[in-house]
A and B are shown apart, each in its own frame.
Chain A
Amino acid sequence: MPELLERGVERELTFAQAVREALAEEMRRDPTVCIIGEDVAEAGTPFKVLSGLVEEFGKERVIDTPISEAGFTGVGVGAAMTGMRPVVDIMFGDFLTLTMDQMVNQAAKVHYMSGGKWKVPMVLRTTLGATRRSAAQHSQSLHVWFSHVPGLKVVLPSTPYDAKGLLKTAIRDDNPVVFFEDKMMYKTKGLVPEGDYTIPFGVADIKREGTDITIVGTSSMVQVALGAAALLDEMGISAEVIDPRTTWPLDEATLIASVKKTSRAIVVDEGYGRYGVTAEIASVIAEGAFFNLEAPVKRMGAMHVPIPFSPPLEDVTVPTEQTVFEAARKLCGKA
Chain B
Amino acid sequence: MSPVTDKAKKRDAKKPEVKRPETKTVETKKPETKNSDAMKASKSDVERSLRMYRRMLMIRLFEEQVNDLYTRALMPGLAHLYVGEEAVAVGICEALRDDDYITSTHRGHGHCVAKGAAPNRMFAELLGKEAGYCKGKGGSMHIADPATGNLGANAIVAGSAGIATGAAFSAKHKRKGQVAVCFFGEGALGQGVVYEVMNLAALWKLPVIYVCENNMYNEYTHFLETTAGDILSRGPAFGVPSESVDGQDVSAVYQVASRLVKRARDGEGPSFLMCNTYRYTGHHVGDISREYYRSKQEEHHWKTERDPVKLFAEKLIAQKLTDAPSLVKLEEEVRAEMQAAVDFAIAAPYPNADKVEQDVYA
Stretch among B89-97, B108-116, B132-140 lining the A interface: B132-140
Q: Count residues of A near B (Cβ-Cβ below 8 Å).
A: 42
Please tell me if B199 contacts chain A, counting CB pairs below 8 Å. Answer: yes
Please tell me if B211 contacts chain A, counting CB pairs below 8 Å. Answer: no
Please tell me if A76 contacts chain B, counting CB pairs below 8 Å. Answer: yes
Complex CA–CA separation, A77 to B101 (angstroms): 14
Complex CA–CA separation, A120 to B359 (angstroms): 12
Assess the A175–B170 pair: CB atoms within 8 A. no
Residues of chain A contacted by B159 (CB below 8 angstroms): 101, 105-106
Assess the B142–A113 pair: CB atoms within 8 A. yes
Complex CA–CA separation, A112 to B358 (angstroms): 8
**Given A70-B196, A113-B144, A114-B152; A78-B164 close (CB under 8 Å):** yes
Please tell me if A2 contacts chain B, counting CB pairs below 8 Å. Answer: no
Q: How far is the CB of B312 from chain A (nearest CB, A)?
A: 32
Residue interface mask A68-104, B partner, CB < 8 A = 1: 1011111111111111101000000000000001100
Residues of chain A contacted by B72 (CB below 8 angstroms): none
Residue interface mask B161-177, A partner, CB < 8 A = 1: 11111111111011000
Q: How far is the CB of B30 from chain A (nearest CB, A)?
A: 30
Residues of chain B contacted by A110 (CB below 8 angstroms): 144, 152
Please tell me if A60 contacts chain B, counting CB pairs below 8 Å. Answer: yes
Q: How far is the CB of A333 from chain B (nearest CB, A)?
A: 42
Q: How far is the CB of B229 from chain A (nearest CB, A)?
A: 21
- With CB as the reference atom, state the residue of chain A lying closest to B170: A82
Assess the A112–B196 pair: CB atoms within 8 A. no
Residues of chain A contacted by B203 (CB below 8 angstroms): 66
Please tell me if A11 contacts chain B, counting CB pairs below 8 Å. Answer: no
Please tell me if B73 contacts chain A, counting CB pairs below 8 Å. Answer: no
Assess the A84–B162 pair: CB atoms within 8 A. no
Residues of chain A contacted by B160 (CB below 8 angstroms): 106
Residues of chain A contacted by B170 (CB below 8 angstroms): 78-79, 82-84
Assess the A71–B359 pair: CB atoms within 8 A. no
B window 169-199: CB within 8 A of A: 169-171, 173-174, 180, 192-193, 196-197, 199
Residues of chain B contacted by A76 (CB below 8 angstroms): 162, 166
- With CB as the reference atom, state the residue of chain A lying closest to B351: A115
- With CB as the reference atom, state the residue of chain B lying closest to A79: B166
Assess the B200–A174 pair: CB atoms within 8 A. no
Residues of chain A contacted by B61 (CB below 8 angstroms): none
Assess the B133–A115 pair: CB atoms within 8 A. yes
Assess the B362–A73 pair: CB atoms within 8 A. no
Please tell me if A46 contacts chain B, counting CB pairs below 8 Å. Answer: no
Residues of chain B contacted by A151 (CB below 8 angstroms): 360-361
- With CB as the reference atom, state the residue of chain A lying closest to B146: A117
Complex CA–CA separation, A176 to B192 (angstroms): 23
Assess the B165–A75 pair: CB atoms within 8 A. yes
B window 310-362: CB within 8 A of A: 358-362
Residues of chain B contacted by A153 (CB below 8 angstroms): 361
A-B contact pairs, 22 of them (CB 8 A): A65-B200, A70-B162, A71-B200, A74-B197, A75-B165, A78-B180, A80-B166, A81-B163, A82-B101, A84-B170, A101-B193, A106-B154, A106-B162, A110-B144, A115-B134, A115-B137, A115-B359, A116-B135, A117-B146, A118-B146, A151-B361, A174-B362
Instruction: Spell out B's residues near A (CB within 8 Å).
Output: 101, 103, 132-138, 142, 144-146, 151-152, 154, 156, 159-171, 173-174, 180, 192-193, 196-197, 199-200, 203, 358-362
Q: Given A101-B156, A115-B359, output 5 extra A-B contacts at Cβ < 8 Å.
A: A78-B103, A78-B162, A115-B134, A117-B133, A117-B146
